[in-house]
Structure 1
Amino acid sequence: METKKSLKICCAVTSILLLLLVITLLILYFTVLKPKKPAVVATPVGLDHIDFSLRPNVSLTLSIRMNISIKNPNYAGFKYENSSASIFYGGDFVGETPIEAGVIHARSIKNISTVVNIIANKVIGNPKFFPDVFKGSLNMNSEMGMEGKVILLGIFKLHAKTHSTCDIAIFVWQGNSTENCNSKIEL
């Protein structure tokens, strides 16, 4: 009889401890461990390469050096695969840059230097080009998607996707730029 009473007490205590553990983990998840949006800043640094040819067709290609800064405010690291960022001007695709696989550690900032190959013919051929040049600002958009794994406490690995869009204004006469980026993360 005493054994059954002890078994019931043990089961009750174990159930209460498991319930407290689950509640604690849920509170941690919704407060500290809840995924937060990464902050992405894409800054054009300078002209890298210009290629102009007259044969067989007139073409102009230029490359712009860019620094992409990604701030990870989460308590989990993010290991991402090879990806790319696409550049658009007036809704038309005008360039792309590769982004090599890597890791953004928990609560850290990763700076990526890359070169964006711009198809200048598409920029110049866009009907918005000359009015924008006279206004002094070329307004471009970039889209970047990264897939990888979120590494939580070095133990748990979850599949994740992050998508960033940036509005980039290149001020023609001043030779500088500004950007406004928005990011979202999906687990």
Structure 2
Amino acid sequence: MKKSLKICRAITAGVLLLVLITFLILYFTVLKPKQPKIVASPIGLDHIAFSLPPNPTLNISIRAAITIENPNYAGFQYRNSSATVFYRRNLIGDAPIEAGVIRARSTKNISTVINVDADKLMADSSFLPDVLRGSLNLTSTAIMEGKVILLGIFKIRATIYSSCDISIFVWEGTKTSICDSKIEL
């Protein structure tokens, strides 16, 4: 009786060890988190508001598209977030990002509106020379907090950090963006 109990324990321990090794191999090969690919691009003017002296102001809203490609085998559920926009390290605007889910191995397009404080933009001494050269270089950053959903069962807290360098070529009417993102579990 004792011998069969020892054999049963040994088999159980062996099976558990095999399951653990299989899970570790899967994690370090297939399930290992990969960095999402993010592209942010302004797509058009949404709103302009200005007032004349004695208190002249100019505010602009730019419609933007954010494309997030999730190469992972886990989905990402994120909370309401926001992106900030900088011109030469000066905060000139922000954009809300509504809560949502990016499914496993899929691409999600998010549309948002960037509220640009044009007064701050034009107050920068480099603004006019940059416009005359034909290129405005902006930086956008976003932090998206949420949960990674693995196999529909496991939920792990995660944060995606994203930074995009956006160049708007004024005279050509074109734009480019290069984004770098990092996921932290």
Q: Tell me which interval the TM-score lies in, with the shorter structure as reference length.
A: over 0.9
Structure-2 residue corresponding to 1:147: 145
Structure-2 residue corresponding to 1:49: 47
Question: 1:134: Cα distance to partner?
Answer: 2.1
Render the CA deviation track for 1:66-114: whole Å, top value 9, x for unaligned.
1110111111111100000000001000000101101111011110111
Tell me whether 126-135 or 40-49 shows the greater mean CA deviation.
126-135
Within-5 A mapping of 1:11-90: 11-90=9-88
Match of 2:105 among 104, 107, 117: 107
Does the residue aligned with 1:180 lie in a helix, a strand or coil?
strand
Q: Quick one: distance in 1 between partners of 2:106 and 2:5?
A: 49
Question: 1:56: Cα distance to partner?
Answer: 4.5
Is 1:170 the counterpart of 2:168? The answer is yes
Structure-2 residue corresponding to 1:137: 135
Q: Quick one: distance in 2 between partners of 1:34 and 1:43?
A: 29
Aligned length: 185
Gaps of 5+ in 1: none
Structure 1 segments (4+ residues) deviating >4 Å? none
Q: Quick one: distance in 2 between partners of 1:78 and 1:137?
A: 35
Aligned identity (percent) is 63
Q: Quick one: distance in 2 between partners of 1:132 and 1:167?
A: 15
> Given residue 87 of structure 2, which amino acid in structure 1 is its aligned partner?
Y
TM-score (norm 2): 0.97
Aligned-residue CA RMSD (Å): 0.9
Q: Quick one: distance in 2 between partners of 1:126 and 1:55?
A: 20
Question: 1:9: Cα distance to partner?
Answer: 1.1
Gaps of 5+ in 2: none
